[in-house]
A and B are shown apart, each in its own frame.
Chain A
Amino acid sequence: MTETDAPYRSDMASSVSTSSHLVVVGAGMVAHRFLESLRAREGAERLTITVIGEEDAAPYDRVGLTSFFSAASADELSLSPEPLDGIRFLRGERAVRIDREARTVTTDAGSTVRYDELVLATGSYAAELAVEGYRLAGVFVYRTLDDVRGIREWIAQRSQALGRPLRGAVIGGGLLGLEAAGALDGLGVGVTIVQSSNRLLSAQVDDAGGEALRRLIEQRGLDVRTNSRTTELAADAAGRVAGLRFDDLSTLDADIVIFSVGVRPRDELARAAGLEVAPRGGVVIDDGCRTSDPAIWAIGEVAAVDGQCFGLVAPGYSMAEVAADRLAGGDAVFPGADLSTKLKLSGVEVASFGDAFGATPGSLDVVYADPIAGVYKKLVLSDDAKTLLGGILVGDASNYSSLRPLLGAELGADPSAYLLPSDVEAPTGELPDAAVVCSCNNVAAHSIRSAVTEEGCTDVAGVKACTRAGAACGSCVPLVKKLVNAELAKAGRTVSTALCEHFPLSRAQLFDAVRITGLRSFSEILERHGSGGRGCDLCKPAVASILASLGNVHPLDGENATLQDTNDHVMANLQRDGSYSVVPRIPGGEITPEGLVVIGEVARDFGLYTKITGGQRIDLFGARLEQLPDIWRRLVDAGFESGHAYGKSLRTVKSCVGSTWCRYGVQDSVKLAIDLELRYRGLRSPHKFKMGVSGCARECAEARGKDVGVIATEKGWNLYVGGNGGFTPRHAQLLAEDLDTETLIRTIDRFVLYYVRTADRLQRTAPWVEELEGGIDGLRDVVLNDSLGIAEDLDEAMARHVDTYRDEWKATLEDPEKLARFASFVNAPRTPDPSLAYVEERGQRRPATDAERSSGISNGGVASGAITIAGPTLEVVRS
């Protein structure tokens, strides 16, 4: 049994005794949030937790249900599995009875679970109108994954049978109704939204807003019928829904009907157990989320506060946090529901917040309406026109995130400024401390500010961990970032450049120190320049990289081997299942047919998955630790060497075919690419770096997307630096024009080494150039005009690198001590990791997913036919 199978236990604080058993009924979004919050709390452990959920699915994002229509699988809606890890989860079982005397919950599958504390998070169900025909085939509600699956299947089946696009009706024009209508529209159904009141979203927007919304929705090809009460659903001869009849006796044809006329709390369990329920449904809770039974809590849509249930996720999350805090011994209080809403429906933005209808006595409306652009905005202000009380935004809700936190606060600017079209910049008044920035987790501006000033957070990630602001839906992250930066600037604080707790120096400072003192072992460097301890995963690889840059030491030589990340340690790239990938160097992307055959044979014989990389070489996946030396022996024998795909070092020099073949090429780009790749191979640097060479201005090698890009001209080469793809793509900037080959290479030498010596850990060339004094011009001065007087030193250092380069894999194969590091197990050096499992896909193997593994293992403990545990070890010895 692995740890994750065991019930989750550890040290729990105050209010819960050591053997306490917590049962949660319901496994939706609110239950998920509750578990996540509870388990992240200090000492919220030593609780045994059982979750009972009637749906077959693990918790999923119900708010994102519509995206399931376009999503490939339900997995994309799944919430993080972590809060349920190690918890007993009775999935697909419905709780049918609570015995409050015995403190047990019984399920429809016959399980009886004892509880000390019980949390009801049973949610609600979609209401249906009791009209004639509401049980016909083709009539749906819109609530669960199963509903959505049913809708999708019905549409596929009926449109095929009828041979035409379907007509559909959505009954109910509230938030969910608009969602459902958008989903049907996306599936090619001609949609009519049927609303009994006089406008859409009648709970969120006023008449004028409803009118603007209606126009926007009709512009998108959906029909809207307001003031229409459905009296009957008509059937065809086969008992399928065929149309609607209204109270004015008019009719509407429909092949599919979706009811979205509101939700009702699932309080039947609580009722039967005799808990107090509200007159209009819902389990009555106090402001600590406790029901009339002190051992039972209720959160989310099933809970009623002052007689009211809330069908939105934000108040549910808020209750989840309160209940979690209470169970962990706190005294949090439900602050009241934030019913602010923002939604985007097939491109139509709508937001409603605070006192949107101006119910406060004496309140004033400031309205901006542009029927041509389809925009309606209204702010509700206090009678002195200073304090923001609420608002409605239709057609353009871009100011929602800056307005909502100002609820109850003085606007501090002319209100009309917030209502002008969004290309007019909104005022950026200072947020009041009490303003709620993150409404999912109820975090005020004050908490974010003090996370910076008191707790020492220096970035959004830190603040997120500290306050949970921005950890749920993420929509407030830009605002959080703005607050954090403002606080840092106010404090005049510069972010520490120390590598980690072991070194007070930045990487560049440490590089200089090591270069000058000439120390060559980590222990010596730590003793001289460090502040105690034994290093960590931040400083060790940084020191290894510095030592390698200074002297081409083998990554596995002596103490150096203890500094390497696993990739550098085994000279391969770790993949998600713990196997590695192997990339032989193919300089400039040029390879002989014989070379291709060898790579193909190695891949075939070791059962490796092969893929061509973006850098014009071949990646071989699925190699096990103990196989790496065997694989490399074959590759080295055939003349291949390490491609350093695992290192913070030069990766590839990509090239186009150049003047030797291409009709347009003006220089031999392949030859230059090969020369550059062989020159800089193995050079360790603060971050990986790539180069590209194009043989003419057509730029087929995409050289300007590389750290170093060279483009041929009639007279020589243009040199560009500081480009990259990845998370923040950058185009390289022109450093020098029309260089001859010798000058070009000398300039690249200096650029690369200057970068290696002075950049921060994991800083790519683009931000490094940006931060250099004088930027690209300053850089040009250093590498072309030697403004710092270091050029000679850099040139010598590069000559040393070129002279001392040796292939790391060849050296490893020649040294039995280094080879000993590739044992899979210290007591079984050649035994494959038994947890590896693969399935075949498109003629190659790939790691089995968790689902495939469990289905393989449920097959009587033996892997099913599709799964190969640890794969074939068919090393074919060739004569």
Chain B
Amino acid sequence: MIAVCGLNDLLPERGAAALVGDEQVALFRTLDGDVYAVQQQDPYSGAHVLSRGIVGSRGEAPTVASPMYKQVFDLRTGECLDPQGRIPRRLRTWQVEVRAGQVYLGEAR
């Protein structure tokens, strides 16, 4: 697992981008303190912007809405919950662990 940042570097209900090797990862911390990691690239526009989307919920699922064309993704699975009329595209997700105030990234799922 790779240490990426401190938990306190992440603001609740707001995303942050992280550079892991050549990879851009979007990290999100919910109000409950859970941390999720998905790909930073928005699959619909190609721009690396997902960390800048609005964090919220759909039913039980914690979500982020792409700031570009507003598709909504489940942060836990990367599943697209609202493709806005396009073909649903799944985001890659990473395993995340928080230990001693540090956020660690594991394997991509």
Contacts and interface: CB of A to CB of B under 8 A. Distances in A.
Bind each other? yes
Interface of A: 2-4, 10, 36, 39-40, 82-83, 85, 461, 464-465, 501-502, 533-537, 540-541, 561-567, 569-570, 574, 576-578, 625, 821, 823-828, 831, 833-835, 850
Nearest to A539: B56
B43 A823 contact: no
Contact of B89 (A36, A85, A464, A821): A85
B49 interface: yes
Nearest to B45: A576
Nearest to A533: B57
Given A566-B52, A826-B4, A835-B48, A534 B13 contact: yes
A833 B18 CA distance: 10
Interface residues of B, number: 48
A3 B88 CA distance: 14
A602 B13 CA distance: 33
Nearest to A564: B54
A578 B69 CA distance: 12
Q: Which 4 A-B pairs have the closest CB atoms?
A: A578-B47, A537-B65, A536-B56, A566-B67
Contact of A536 (B14, B22, B65): B65
Contact of A561 (B14, B22, B24, B86): B14
B43 A4 contact: yes
Contact of B87 (A36, A570, A827): A36
Contacts of B62: 534
Nearest to A817: B11
Contacts of B39: 2-3
A826 B47 contact: no
Interface of B: 4-5, 9-14, 16-19, 22, 24, 27, 30-31, 39, 41, 43, 45-49, 52-59, 62-63, 65, 67-68, 70, 72, 85-92
B48 A833 contact: yes
A562 B85 contact: no
A564 B53 CA distance: 9
A824 B48 CA distance: 11
B71 to A, nearest CB: 10
B18 A10 contact: no
B18 A561 contact: no
A566 B53 contact: yes
Nearest to B62: A534
A90 B92 CA distance: 25
B49 A825 contact: no
Nearest to A828: B19
B43 A824 contact: no
A501 to B, nearest CB: 7
Which of the listed residues B12, B52, B85 has the most CB atoms from chain A within 10 Å of its own CB?
Answer: B52
B4 A569 contact: no
A645 B90 CA distance: 32
Contact of A39 (B16, B43, B87): B87
B50 to A, nearest CB: 10
B49 A574 contact: yes
Nearest to A10: B90
Given A534-B13, A537-B54, A537-B70, A577 B47 contact: yes
A535 B72 contact: no
Nearest to B20: A827
A535 B56 contact: yes
Nearest to B17: A825
A501 B58 contact: yes
B98 to A, nearest CB: 14
A831 B48 CA distance: 14
A522 B23 CA distance: 34
A828 B18 CA distance: 7
Contact of B54 (A83, A540, A831): A540
A503 B5 CA distance: 35
B34 to A, nearest CB: 12
